[in-house]
Structure 1
Amino acid sequence: MVAILVVMVSMTSGCLTLDPTVTLGTADSSVFKGASTTDSVAAGKVDTRVTLTDGATTSEGVTQLNVIDATGKAVYKTPVESGETSVTLMLPTTGTVTIVAVNTVNGTVVETRNATITGKKVI
């Protein structure tokens, strides 16, 4: 059964990772409080819940989060509503990405943080 699942996942997504974890640098951050995932198996992407500070969307003005991969390409972005303190992002199954909090109204970068995704890569 597991072998069939592995073959099916590899055919559709190309990468299977067991027990993925996400570490987000939050020291002295005015926007980010942390990141977590509940996925025990990730196929291609890891659903990651990013927790924001209470003032991220109000006093800091964050309206969107962008995920930038190691090559500098934007691989995911999502709007952030005023007052929202938890956002789900799709991250790669392993490696390092940069999460950029932006204010799309005035076109500024509010804060940038690195996130490292680790896990046991099966395929």
Structure 2
Amino acid sequence: MERDVRIRLLAVVALGALLVTSGCLTTDPAVELNTTESAVFAEASTDGSVAIGQVNAKLSLVPNATTDEGVDRLLVVAPNGETFHRTSLDSGQSSVTVLLPPDGSATIVAANTVNGTVVETRNATITGDSLR
């Protein structure tokens, strides 16, 4: 029994150290993305009840986003203007998980890299209870 207590204590200490060294802890993360009249995005939601340093968001795409619109890459741009995350899309893909910064906002850029155009840009608002 004493060994179990030590293992639990070690796990709590390790988790605390992870939280302190990895940046921001956000509980109940959520993402708001205006998809009204979007040529690319149908819906956005978050995965999980806790986020450490980044928020996992699932984006549902409109049926023709990767075919008719030719979207083959999504970029997440942080408030400081730097690329926070990027991912490639396959033709016919209907959803994708992206990483969002936990600090309030991001810009999601849908691009067609074949012809070098930006198909659509949407601002996302990330909310939750931040603990630092």
Q: Specify the TM-score bucket, using the shorter chain as the normaliser.
A: over 0.9
Aligned to 1:78: 87
What displacement does 1:8 show? 2.4
More strand by share: 1
Unaligned runs of 5+ in 1: none
Matches within 5 A, 1:40-119: 40-119=49-128
Take 1:69 and 1:21, find their aligned partners in 2: how far apart are those partners?
Answer: 16
Take 2:103 and 2:94, find their aligned partners in 1: how far apart are those partners?
Answer: 25
Q: Contact 1:6 / 1:16 at 8 angstroms: preserved in 2?
A: no
Matches within 5 A, 1:20-39: 20-39=29-48
How many aligned positions are there?
122
Unaligned runs of 5+ in 2: 1-8
More helix by share: 2
Taking structure 2 as the reference length, what is the TM-score of the superposition? 0.87
What displacement does 1:94 show? 2.6
Taking structure 1 as the reference length, what is the TM-score of the superposition? 0.93
Identity percentage of aligned residues = 51
Structure 1 runs, 4 residues or longer, greater than 3 Å off: 1-4
